[in-house]
Structure formats: structure tokens, C-alpha cells
Amino acid sequence: MRHGTYRFVIGFLLAPIVLYATFVFYPITQLVYVSMTNWTGLSPKFRFVGLDNFAKIWTDGLFWKAVQHHLFLLILLPLITIALALFFAFLLNMGGGTRGGVMTGVWGSKFYRVVFFLPQVLAVVIVGVIFSRVYGPDQTGVLNRLLIDVFGMDKPIGFMIDYGMWAILGALVWQAVGFYVVLFSAGMSSIPADLYEAAVLDGASRVVIFFRVTIPLLWETVQVAWVYLGILAFDAFALVMLLSIEQGGPDGATAVLPVLIYKQGIRESEYGYASALGVSLFLLTITFAVLALRTGRREAVEH
């Protein structure tokens, strides 16, 4: 390559590499190092303590509670979201009649798609603030008010007191479903119409077509959705910060790792311990990603 081309290549790469190296790559390399020190914000002096922070994590009840909560979300968030999204996408794309041999969506499917996707453009913070009113613990909470006034329930439910993680899960599902409806709809519309025609001619019902034709052909998209939602299950930061009692409480009932990392690392300046929590979170997410990609490899049907 000519000399001038190299100058051009370097010129174009320099600024992005410097920025990325400073704020992403360098902190990643620092993570492991800081996690093996007793660095706190209290004194500039700190020393190498090996795996002490990890030993502390191992006996930290709050850490294990957080891990349990991530597992809870890891199982239920994809399961519920994908089931609802597949069901809605099915109705919106093939729930209507057959027109000229091609299956159509139900009436108004465009409108539904627009509304369902709407929460996706809202900041999680806004979702959190709105749901803090929805889950209000006394009769002034939106949900309690509805349950008492309309359904005759006799006393209000303390959603965030007694069912914290379920309430968090509800808000996550509320926001996520529309995104996957759109994603699955795109997948469904790329399935060739003659496959459906053949199934219809064979006398297959809608439900049979859905399970035997649509889902196998959509399997790769479902797998992608599973990985995305799994990664979301390790987040939940904003919702826990805004919805839960005492940001992760009561008594660790809604503890999640990102909140622990933020509280320990930024608020309490326990840099060493928070970095060790960061390493733990990384190991958990990467384990999940590898497992998901391995076990999800059911042979996809080509079309």
C-alpha cells in the first residue's frame, strides 16, 4: 500500500482508538487489578490483597441474594416476554382471515404495533417513576386503587414490600414486549408465503401452522431474543433504584449486582470491593452468553 494510504488509515483510526482505549479498554484492564487491592476513597494508600475481596464476596449474603434475583429474572423475563411477544406477533401477522391465499393480521394490527413499541422509546427512568405510582403501597397507588375500587379487594397490596422482584419483573416485561413483537413480526413477514399456502392446503389449523411452521422458521430470531433478554436480566439498575424500598430492599429483597456495584463503588468509595463485584458480574454474564449460544444451537430450519 502506498505511503499516503497508511497516513489516511492512521488518521482515521487515531481518535476513535484513543477514546476507546482510555475510557473502555484501560478501565477493563484496571478492573482486575483494582479488584485485588484494598483501595478505598478514604486514603490514597492501598495495597495488594490478592483474592481477599472475592473471599469477602463469597460470604456476603447480599451478593448471593442478588445472584438469585438475576437467576429469577434470567428464567422468567425471557420466558414471559417471548411467549407474549410471539402470541401478539402471531395475531398481528396471521390472526386475520386469508386474503387471496395469503394470511393477514387482525384488523388494526398497524395501530397495535405502534402502541406496543411505544415504551421502548421511553427512558427506563421514566418507566421507573411511573411504575412507582402504579405500585404505590396504599390505596393511592394506581394498581391498588383499581383492585379496591373495581375488583372489590379489601386491603391494599404492598407490591414493593412483599413482591419486590415480581413487581420489577412486571415493569421489565411491560417495557420489553413491544420490541420483540416488532422483531418477531419482521421475522414472520420474511417467511415465504408458499410455505403457508402448502400448510393451509393440507388443512392445517392456524395453531398447528404457528407451532409447526412459524416457530421452527423463527427459531434463530427467538434465540437472539433470548440472549438479549438474558443480558437485560443482569441489569435492572434503574428500576431497582427508583422502585424498590431503600434501593435494593427491604433487607436485600430486590438486591441486584449493578446496584451493589454503584452503591459500593461510587457512593461508599469501596473501589477494591466494587471492582471485585464487577469481575463477578462479568463472569456471570459471560457464562450465560456462552451457555445460551451453546445450548441454543438447535438446528435451524433453512428456507
Q: Which of residues 118-157 bind another protein (CB under 8 A)?
A: 118-126, 128-134, 140, 142, 145
The C-alpha angle 275, 266, 287, rounded to 5 degrees, equals 35
Q: What is the x/- site pattern for another protein, positions 217-256, by CB under 8 A?
A: ----x--xx--x--x--xx-xx--xx--------------
Rounded to an integer, what distance in angstroms lies between the CA atom of residue 105 and that of residue 70?
A: 36
**Closer to another protein by Cβ: residue 12 or 48:** 12
Q: What is the DSSP letter of 95?
A: S
Q: What is the x/- site pattern for another protein, positions 3-22, by CB under 8 A?
A: -xxx-xx-xxx-xxx-xx-x
3-class secondary-structure state, position 103: strand
Is residue 301 a contact point for another protein (CB under 8 A)?
A: no
Scanning residues 30 to 89, which ones bind another protein (CB under 8 A)? 30-31, 34, 84, 87-88
Q: How far is the CB of 178 from another protein (least distance, A)?
A: 7
Q: How far is the CB of 229 from another protein (least distance, A)?
A: 11
Scanning residues 254 to 283, which ones bind another protein (CB under 8 A)? 257-258, 261-262, 265-266, 271, 274-275, 278-279, 281-282
Helix axes 61-94, 271-295, angle to 10 degrees: 40
Positive or negative torsion for Cα 156, 157, 158, 159: negative
Interface segment toward another protein; rule CB under 8 A; list 52-60, 62-70, 171-179, 293-301: 171-179
Q: Tell me the backbone φ, ψ of residue 251, rounded to 5 degrees.
A: 55, 45
**Closer to another protein by Cβ: residue 184 or 253:** 184
Integer angstrom CA distances of residue 232 from 115, 171, 198, 256, 260 = 22, 12, 39, 12, 16
